[in-house]
Structure 1
Amino acid sequence: MFKSILDNKIYNGDNVIGITDIKYLPRWVVLIIDVLFLIISILLTFFVVFKLKAKPYDVINSFQASSIAIIVNVFFMYVFKTYAGVIRHSTFVDLLKILLASFCTLAVLFLINSAFLIIDNEKAFLNSFIILYFLFSSMFLFTFRLVVKEIFHYAREISRSGMKKRIMVLGVDEQSVAIARAILDNPKLPYQITNFISFNEKLGNVSAKILGKTILSKSKFIKKDKSELDIEGVILIKESLTKEELDEWIGILLEKDIKILKAPSVQKLRSTDNANFIKAVQIEDLLNRKPIKLNDEEVKKRHFNKEVLITGGAGSIGSEIINQVSKFNPSLVVVVDQAETPLYEVELSLRERFPHVNFKFVLADVSNVKRIEPLFKKHSFSMVYHAAAYKHVPLVEGNPQEAVRVNIMGSKNLATLSSKYEVNRFVMVSTDKAVNPTNVMGATKRVAELFVQSLQGLPENKTKFITTRFGNVLGSNGSVIPHFKKQIEKGGPITITHPDIVRYFMTIPEACELVLHAGTMGNGGEIYVFDMGEPVKILDLATRMIKLSGFEPETDIKIIYTGLRPGEKLYEELLSDDTKTLPTDHDKILISKDPVMKFEEINELLQVMLKSLETDTKFEIVGRIKQIVKEFKSNNSEYESLDK
């Protein structure tokens, strides 16, 4: 090992070998060093015995006594493998092994004494010799390991000090200490821990230390500025903090212009092989809530060894639904999307992550029933997840024909085929923009909701139709957070439509968990809405993102207001005004009792709309949508004239 390091240093032109470059000593070298310490212990024992003027027994000579003691000791060192551990990482277990080997040696030497006493009526060893040898040998072996461990620790600290970023650890609980120890033991990480920050004021005001690092109280930390603290960042464990504590500390650290780092919980750290487990806090971390708890057994039952169809599989929601469904070992997952390159990328990713799952990727448009129906004829789908839709409000506002074709006709095709081929459950992904819609996108999704619900009441229908409504998902294609990130990377400005605009947010995994769970708990005809907590002001979101990126709002990155886009409103609702809600077995999930339409009524209106789709102007198309969705009132749009 040392030779390979030496050769590597020479041939790389670096003639400096640091002590931390030496990985570990071979076991036989450690054993030889231990034996040398045993010899030193024997010599020291004899020196003390002679100084005490104790007269040795004549049964065996000093050389024989020394040889017996060392041989017995080495035997037990072999039994307990005291030489097997890496010295610099010695733990209590390693020290316990040494103690056990020494105790066993002590016991055997006393037994030999007893045997000689029975046979020759005289002991082989002085009792003082045995006890002193036990004390000296244990002490030297202990000290050797502790000294080596400390030498490597200090050498590592010295080597780090010039290159590593100085950081503090928030908290003094077991999780925080374990993460700190993982950082200290990983020389590849570019961080040097200087202090712990304690929530306990008393603990922070005494001269207490953890892992050799001083503890600083919260009040002392707050009083000092960044230069006095002499650090670049603070590392925190999100799972150890409440939402209020997290928000408070984020505010404190952003105010001091200190970088905020996050580490996983100890449980997650143990289950990952990633050495670079320290990450910068993202805005998503501040908006994330505890995800809902799923009944995994029920979800598994619905998907295990079943055939599943997922539309919009190349999108943010669709691809995550596939990830979650694949964990339950379905017999087949058919993925449909019309976007060629994203679908191909999703295919490569899924086949790598789930090599045991049978996938089929279909490049098709859900509005083309001739491409979709053969899939239902060939496969016996148990679940259909319909996530395919046009969703970008301004783009859809200018192209209502395409919104009707994909969002309405596509949903009609999928739902009708699901009923015709007796699919067990059909789950449609909808949006909060379908509630009291002010834009074409939201209105077309509301029409799709009404049609899907109407199928539930047909006498011949055996499929359970379920709808789920979401707010904005963090990190989805085209969503506000990735857009702001790109603007910050370019140096700004960040563009916001209105200073008072607010939105609800949820994570993609959280949204998809709701989709899967709704599919298991629905009886058919329900619209499920999620308690998404408090809405987020987009201006506050942008300000925090700028600060998390290390910049100052308005100084480094400008914020400009562009005005509400066509069809956009200041806030979104999850429930319509005349809606009643019913609880479910999850306190975060509610059933929205929206007004419904009979199948005959909405089907007739849709047939007229779809027949004239190619010939109608966009104003005529939007007028037909308004005829179905009475509460659809255009806002900041050219279609406002249709409402007068």
Structure 2
Amino acid sequence: MRIYPPVWLTSLPRRQKIALMISADLIALPVCFSLALFLRAGNTELLHQYGFLPSLIIAACTIPVFSYSGLYRMVVRYFDLRVLWVSGASLACLVALTYALSYLVTIGHLPRTGLLIYWFIAFSYVVISRFLARAVITRAQQRKQTGDRDVLRVAIFGAGEAGAQLATAMRASSGHRPVCFFDDDISLDKKIFSDLPVYFSDNMKDQINQLGINEVVLAVPSLSVKRRKQIVDKLHRYAVSVRTLPTLLELVDRKITMQSVRDIKIEDLLGRDIVPPREELFARCTHRKVVMVTGAGGSIGSELCRQIASRQPSKLILFDHSEFALYVIEQELRRTFPELQIVARIGSVCDVEAVAAAMRGQRIDSVYHAAAYKHVPMVEANMSEGIRNNVLGSATIANMADHFGVKTCVLISTDKAVRPTNIMGASKRIAELAFQAAASRPNTSTTFSMVRFGNVLGSSGSVVPLFRKQIRAGGPVTITHPDVIRFFMLIPEAAQLVIQAGAMAQGGEVFVLDMGKPVRITDLARTMIEMSGLVEKTRKNPAGDIEIKFVGLRPGEKLYEELLIGGEVTASEHERIMCSHEPFLEEAEYREKLGKLLAACESRDELAIQLAVQSLVPEYAPYSSLDTPRDSAAAADESRQLTPLPVLNLKPAQVGISGISGSS
């Protein structure tokens, strides 16, 4: 096998590489000065007059200046524009010192303008030689790493800052070669950007065929969901793989590298267009505050921790009953935010002493209560434990927040709390009542609020990971009912809106997040099958790859979800957060009924539990009422005609819109 000299050079020890660079400069710099004298006179007269000695002296003086400025400490393969001002400034200092010395010591009337010409020539030599060496060595290194493997020819969609960073990262990596840019801006067509040609996006098919492109990477973090889906659908027809950089929600002060590139996820095509967080709301309860997150290791809790950590809190307290989940998020945060003071506490939110120990002496400003059991069939089959965790845990957090003078306490709720047909949803509605009751205390110094929203794409217990696993296994993809629809939201967006909603609270509000348009679960499954490069197997197409199978509604599952109990909704400071006026119980009555519910849980009598739940949540309609499948539109129309039963001495309270992810 032939050994290329550049590859051999890359394997030399660092000191030998520096010695080679100095040797090359000692040869080239005298030539540069001689050339400067030649250009100064227009002939060889000055060269004959002064000889070669001044050239050697200038070179000998230049080397120490370069060394002092750090030019020789730079790694050739990773040279960037910094080499320009380092070499330029170093040579300028040398010329200035030589000028000064020539005034003090007469050197045979050395032409001083020759020194200025020397600066330009030497500067050009240094820059060109370094970048040429970088290109040669990088190419040789790529050849060494890839061997006989084919290099992936990549087009970057988006001629912007992110695309430029990605092109630079690809050039320094092995196995990827940036070929061109695609962009929606027709004014950039046929222009050169980051040393690559730019082509208008309508011409992608022709350029993909002509340039032999294997992969296209979407490098526009702000790209709308609709446009992203259009691009992905078009590129899939051209038989090229498509990957993407993180979205604006995922990019939190991170530099773009090859590790940033990831596969297209269903979340990229079903999410909504990004609305950047309002900084004054986002930082109000987090910046330089002591913040505690319960359920910190869960899907929503861990993302809350990431978003809060990015706002520079003075301390972040992580609370979770799962040692492993707590360890994972703690290590991630310590690695990403090394300056942040983090306290990790293992414990159950139902344990008063554990919660008190986590809060005592911390002077907590904000608590985000995300700890909950949320898997509908699991909670339905384990009513006592589900209610104990979701209800008693929430009441404990509310009481301890009040006891320790926490300024803001936010409950993460769910759309399943609205007219619930299952114990999970009912337990979250009772948790809301606990926070509403705490907010009604006359002497409390804590601002309590609730945030209710629908399913979160990709969270634990949601359909996306389940469908992905079923598709990898060859199917079938199981769906409960062909008419099931759900609201979906991205995890980062949900966490950001929760933090902003809590910042607007005055006490007792239920905030409701704008979930956008609902998604039919069947359409979601078909999109995921198509994204996997597979074909749905149907009666009309028995040769397909993956079958969709309908298995019937599970206990407690609805065809559709709602976000509001009442119809009285008002706008808030944020365009995607609303407030709803909903009923609540006086604290004394709530405590009495809660006691009966917990007693029923101790007995594990499911009928008694359901009756106790109905006394707290009169709109709770057990699953039996949904045994007969109905048309989803008719069901939605019927639900809008229902009104809460006028019992339990209910009073209106301000409520806001949001929730946690649940099983679909």
Cα distance 1:15–1:401, how it changes in 2: closer, same or farther (>3 A)?
Answer: same
Q: CA deviation at 1:264?
A: 5.3
Q: CA deviation at 1:423?
A: 4.4
Q: What are the equivalent positions in structure 2 for 1:262-341 lying under 5 Å apart?
A: 262-263=244-245, 271-272=254-255, 276-286=259-269, 287=271, 289-295=274-280, 297-300=283-286, 304=289, 306=290, 310-324=293-307, 328-329=312-313, 333=317, 335-337=319-321, 339=322, 341=324
Gaps of 5+ in 2: 538-543, 629-641, 643-664
1:254 has 2:254 as partner: no
1:68 has 2:54 as partner: yes
Q: Deviations over 1:125-159 (max 9, x none)?
A: 799x9999888767766664565455446546766
RMSD: 4.5
Q: Of the candidates 184, 203, 221, which is equivalent to residue 199 of structure 1?
A: 184
Q: What are the equivalent positions in structure 2 for 1:179-194 lying under 5 Å apart?
A: 179-184=166-171, 186-188=172-174, 190-194=175-179
TM superposition score normalised by structure 1: 0.78
Question: Does the CA contact (< 8 Å) of 1:468 and 1:528 recur in 2?
Answer: yes
Q: What residue is the counterpart of 1:626 in the other structure?
A: 614
TM superposition score normalised by structure 2: 0.76
Q: Secondary structure at the match of 1:16?
A: coil
Cα distance 1:534–1:112, how it changes in 2: closer, same or farther (>3 A)?
Answer: same
Q: What residue is the counterpart of 1:545 in the other structure?
A: 528
Q: CA deviation at 1:261?
A: 1.8
Cα distance 1:593–1:65, how it changes in 2: closer, same or farther (>3 A)?
Answer: same
Distance 1:626 1:125 in 2: 100
Cα distance 1:588–1:64, how it changes in 2: closer, same or farther (>3 A)?
Answer: same
Q: Deviations over 1:361-396 (max 9, x none)?
A: 243361x55766677788765544333322111222
AA matched with 1:281: I
Q: What residue is the counterpart of 1:506 in the other structure?
A: 489
Distance 2:155 2:226 in 1: 20
Q: CA deviation at 1:568?
A: 1.7
Q: What residue is the counterpart of 2:348 in the other structure?
A: 364
Gaps of 5+ in 1: 1-13
Question: Does the CA contact (< 8 Å) of 1:37 and 1:141 recur in 2?
Answer: no
The percentage of counterpart residues that share the same residue type is 30
Q: CA deviation at 1:525?
A: 0.9
Question: Does the CA contact (< 8 Å) of 2:387 and 2:427 recur in 1?
Answer: yes
Cα distance 1:22–1:273, how it changes in 2: closer, same or farther (>3 A)?
Answer: farther
Q: What residue is the counterpart of 1:171 in the other structure?
A: 158
1:486 has 2:477 as partner: no
Q: Of the candidates 22, 46, 62, which is equivalent to residue 31 of structure 1?
A: 22
Q: CA deviation at 1:590?
A: 1.5
AA matched with 1:628: L
Return 586-595 or 382-391, whichever deviates more: 382-391
Q: Of the candidates 448, 451, 454, which is equivalent to residue 437 of structure 2?
A: 454
Question: Does the CA contact (< 8 Å) of 1:294 and 1:513 recur in 2?
Answer: no
* Structure with greater contact order relative to length (CA < 8 Å, sep ≥ 6): 2
AA matched with 1:199: D
AA matched with 1:183: M
Question: Does the CA contact (< 8 Å) of 2:309 and 2:340 recur in 1?
Answer: no
1:587 has 2:587 as partner: no
Distance 2:52 2:585 in 1: 99
Q: Of the candidates 594, 597, 616, which is equivalent to residue 585 of structure 2?
A: 597
Q: What are the equivalent positions in structure 2 for 1:497-536 lying under 5 Å apart?
A: 497-536=480-519
Return 72-81 or 506-515, whichever deviates more: 72-81
Cα distance 1:216–1:512, how it changes in 2: closer, same or farther (>3 A)?
Answer: closer
AA matched with 2:574: H
Cα distance 1:20–1:273, how it changes in 2: closer, same or farther (>3 A)?
Answer: farther
Cα distance 1:602–1:169, how it changes in 2: closer, same or farther (>3 A)?
Answer: same
The structure having more radius of gyration, on CA atoms, is 1
Q: Of the candidates 378, 389, 393, which is equivalent to residue 410 of structure 1?
A: 393
AA matched with 2:223: L
Question: Does the CA contact (< 8 Å) of 2:414 and 2:428 recur in 1?
Answer: yes
Q: What residue is the counterpart of 1:607 in the other structure?
A: 595
Q: What are the equivalent positions in structure 2 for 1:199-238 lying under 5 Å apart?
A: 199-201=184-186, 203-204=188-189, 206=190, 208-210=191-193, 213-222=196-205, 230-238=212-220
Cα distance 1:360–1:232, how it changes in 2: closer, same or farther (>3 A)?
Answer: closer
Q: CA deviation at 1:499?
A: 3.3
Cα distance 1:553–1:164, how it changes in 2: closer, same or farther (>3 A)?
Answer: farther
Cα distance 1:598–1:262, how it changes in 2: closer, same or farther (>3 A)?
Answer: same
AA matched with 2:231: W
Distance 1:363 1:447 in 2: 22
Cα distance 1:639–1:409, how it changes in 2: closer, same or farther (>3 A)?
Answer: farther
